A = this chain, B = another copy of it.
Amino acid sequence: MIIVGERLNGQFGDVEQAIKQKDESIIKDLVDAQVEAGSDYLDVNVGTAVPSREKADAMVWMVETIQKFTDVPLAIDSPIDEVLKVGVEACEHPPLINSAQADPEELNDYIQLAMKHDASLIALTMDEDGVPNDVAKRVELAGNIVVAAMEAGMPFDRLFIDVVALPVRATQAQPGIVLEAISQLQGIADPSPHFIIGLSNVSQGAVKRSLINRTYLVMCMAMGLDAAILDPMDEELMDALITTELLLNKQIYSDSFLNAYRSSKRRG
């Protein structure tokens, strides 16, 4: 499982404060904790901590600050082109670009950006019409993404298709639609692209968020999800993730299987 740590995001109060006050110690603590918990990438998103015109600078500050403390690669996360580009350019290691929509022009721009930086790319199964209400349209958009990547010569192991999880509280059929889409997309290409979701979306506005998150992660992994943007510091979530890998025969059983996985994922 490829784990993208979600906590370096200006939507969280501590990170907002860090960005506003240029407080490196808050950033360092979140870097250390997420790396220790097994993150393969650290997501970096300035959120709404600063006005739009200051977001590019804030992104560069975040990227440069984080890289003082770790060499774990970053997922540069912004809906704003310019913010995303300066973030990618500030990376010392090839990042994960988060994210492109499936509209042809935007998709091709971002694939080119990824190719230029040897980066990986998250491409969303949504377009100018928004997030599809059904399985078929998600699968169709994923097909478009795969074709665009193929035509650009982008290796599929650098392509992350995000099937776009939506809140169960608001749209209760959507979690099941996403599960079915993940299932149908298995085998869409060989080698397969990765399949990813922003996990905590599913519990937006709901109670028992951690329970909902970890239950949904297990369901999605059973269907073939192999990457997620999530809070790796949520210990019960990580226990569920590790146990799912065990049951999918992706990790050898030992009585210390939880610790064994954590040790294997930990890096400096």
Interface residues of A (CB under 8 A from B): 168-169, 172-173, 175-176, 179, 183, 202, 206-208, 211-212, 215-216, 218-219, 221-223, 239-240, 243-244, 246-249, 252-253, 255, 257-258
Contact = CB atoms under 8 A, between A and B. Distances in A.
Contacts of A221: 219
B208 A247 contact: no
A215 B238 CA distance: 12
Nearest to A215: B243
A215 B211 CA distance: 12
A176 B212 CA distance: 23
A249 B219 contact: no
Contacts of A222: 179, 218-219, 222-223
At the interface, is chain A mostly helix, strand, loop or mixed? helix
A169 B215 contact: no
Contacts of A253: 168-169, 172, 206
7 contacts: A168-B247, A172-B252, A202-B247, A207-B257, A211-B240, A219-B244, A219-B247
Nearest to A253: B169
Contacts of A215: 218, 240, 243-244, 247
A253 B253 CA distance: 36
A176 B248 CA distance: 5
